[in-house]
Amino acid sequence: MKSEKQQIMTAADIDLALSRIALQIVERNRNVNNLAIVGIHTGGVYLAERIKELIKNRENVEVPFGSLDITLYRDDWSMASQSPVVKTTDLNFPVECCTMVLVDDVLFTGRTIRAALDAIMDFGRPMVIQLAVLVDRGGRELPIQPDFVGMHVNVEDNERIDVLLKERAGGDEVILESR
């Protein structure tokens, strides 16, 4: 069975979506001095870095930044691999005193976000946690909803969303692939 690929976001679309998300974060959180941006490995980290820079350029404030590995917090990690690849978690700021914006590339079942919330709580309890995603593809298994979304897409069970970023793949685009 041949797969079909369709580009649903270009590099310009991604830039526009991230600019809009950064602006919405600033609007909702008037005091950016209490803000921290945390990306979920791997794609979410690159998007979080971009959002952090957009906020810095707009507000002239260096917002604390972190990265979060949720591999061992997943409820399905043993099914995915017997030897999971664990990346670095880096939260070098006081978690308890901040409004944390958690960033991921695609929101699907909600299980990644649930695992991220568990991982964050091992470092402390933020005042507020908000969720920003580039693509919300629907299909939730858990009651988790994003606060900031770049694009909503209705995706069938036989379809997949791939976020290709210049930091990893050489160019920015979002692909919808049917199998």
Q: What is the pLDDT of residues 100-111, one digit of tens each?
A: 999 999 999 999
Question: What is the CB-side half-sphere exposure of residue 135 using CA atoms within 13 A?
Answer: 24
Total domains in the chain come to 1
Report if residue 133 sits inside a domain: yes
Report if residue 177 sits inside a domain: no
Could you give the CA distance from residue 160 to residue 148 in angstroms, rounded to a whole number? 21
Report if residue 5 sits inside a domain: no
Report if residue 174 sits inside a domain: no
Report if residue 162 sits inside a domain: no
CA-based nearest residue to 89, from 127, 113, 122: 122
Taking the model in full, what pTM does it have?
0.92
Count the Cβ atoms, other than its own, within 10 Å of residue 177. Answer: 14
Q: What is the pLDDT of residues 11-36, one digit of tens each?
A: 999 999 999 999 999 999 988 999 99
Could you give the CA distance from residue 119 to residue 101 in angstroms, rounded to a whole number? 14
Report if residue 178 sits inside a domain: no
Structure token digits, residue 25: 């974060």
Q: Supply the range of the domain harboring residue 131.
A: 14-73+88-156
Q: What is the pLDDT of residues 128-172, one digit of tens each?
A: 999 999 999 999 999 999 999 999 999 998 999 999 999 987 799
- CATH code, domain with 145: 3.40.50.2020
Per-residue exposure over 25-36, b if at least 16 CB sit within 10 Å of its own CB, e if not: bbeebeebebbb
